[in-house]
């Protein structure tokens, strides 16, 4: 419930009065009654939370906060099963489905579709719920961005590995060329040493000149 409490503080900070502070039509509610309404709503069992759908609850941020809290407690399979019971023909049902599926190990494509579907209902979302909805939507957007960043990093890592392998092969080729060049220089040095050590007047034609190493064709 820590996340729900923080979201409720944000609602307060933005100056949005929660629906449960409204005075009932039947008469004036005492402060104690308003607190009682809050306690009763928070105490609603998670198994029954979505059955409390009504115009009043749909406009109550605490109703959605409780729904988010309950959805977090569900296993992915349970969340998906519950989400199938709701259509996405209204902002309320689309929001319920989004809340239920948000932590159900959905794919990035599924998450993107949920957000896009809710965006089509954005003008219809109750004013009291808008700040909470925006917080929830921002969270979904951050998750999508995180997935994209991870994919980008993996691609860069793969590209870097490929580039490193290319550099390694180039290094090996350069080493081989360097060794060949070194052998040629050593061979030429030997030839020069032998020629310079010949005695004057000696039979030049009788001396055997060392063979020079040539590159393979």
- Written as tens digits, the pLDDT of the chain (217 aa) is 444 445 544 444 444 444 443 433 334 444 444 444 443 568 889 999 988 888 989 999 999 999 999 999 999 999 999 999 998 899 999 999 999 999 999 999 999 999 999 999 999 999 999 999 999 999 999 999 999 999 888 888 888 888 888 888 888 888 898 888 888 888 888 887 888 777 565 554 555 555 555 555 5
Residue 83 burial (CB < 10 Å; 0-12/13-18/19+)? buried
Q: Which residue in 86, 69, 64 sits closest to 131, CA to CA?
A: 64
**At residue 201, what are phi and psi to the nearest 5 degrees?**
80, 0
Please give the tally of structural domains in the chain.
Answer: 1
What pLDDT, on the 0 to 100 scale, is given for residue 200? 61
> Do 86 and 97 contact (CB within 8 A), yes or no?
yes
- State the residue range of the domain holding 12: 1-197+205-217
What pLDDT, on the 0 to 100 scale, is given for residue 192? 78
d(CA 25, CA 109): 44
Residue 115 CB neighbours (<10 A): 17
What pLDDT, on the 0 to 100 scale, is given for residue 203? 53
What pLDDT, on the 0 to 100 scale, is given for residue 124? 96
d(CA 205, CA 209): 9
What pLDDT, on the 0 to 100 scale, is given for residue 211? 58
What pLDDT, on the 0 to 100 scale, is given for residue 141? 94
């Amino acid at each position: 419930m820590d996340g729900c409490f923080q979201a409720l503080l944000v609602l307060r900070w933005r100056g949005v009065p929660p629906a449960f502070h409204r005075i009932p039509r039947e008469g004036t509610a005492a402060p104690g009654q308003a607190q009682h309404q809050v306690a009763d709503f928070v105490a609603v069992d998670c198994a029954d939370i979505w059955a409390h759908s009504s115009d009043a609850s749909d406009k109550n941020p605490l109703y959605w906060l409780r729904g988010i809290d309950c959805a977090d407690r569900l296993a992915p399979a349970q969340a998906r099963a519950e989400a199938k019971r709701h259509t996405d023909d209204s902002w309320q049902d689309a929001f319920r489905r989004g809340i239920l599926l948000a932590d159900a190990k959905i794919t990035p494509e599924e998450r993107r579709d949920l957000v896009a579907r809710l965006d089509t209902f954005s003008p219809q979302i109750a004013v009291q719920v808008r700040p909470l909805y925006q917080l929830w939507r921002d969270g979904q957007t951050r998750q999508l961005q995180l997935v994209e960043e991870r994919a980008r990093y993996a691609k860069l890592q793969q590209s870097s590995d490929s580039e490193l392998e290319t550099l390694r092969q180039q290094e090996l080729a350069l080493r081989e060329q360097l060794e060949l060049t070194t052998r040629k220089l050593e061979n030429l040095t030997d030839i020069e040493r032998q020629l310079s050590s010949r005695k004057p007047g000696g039979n030049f034609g009788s001396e055997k000149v060392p063979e020079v190493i040539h590159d393979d064709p």
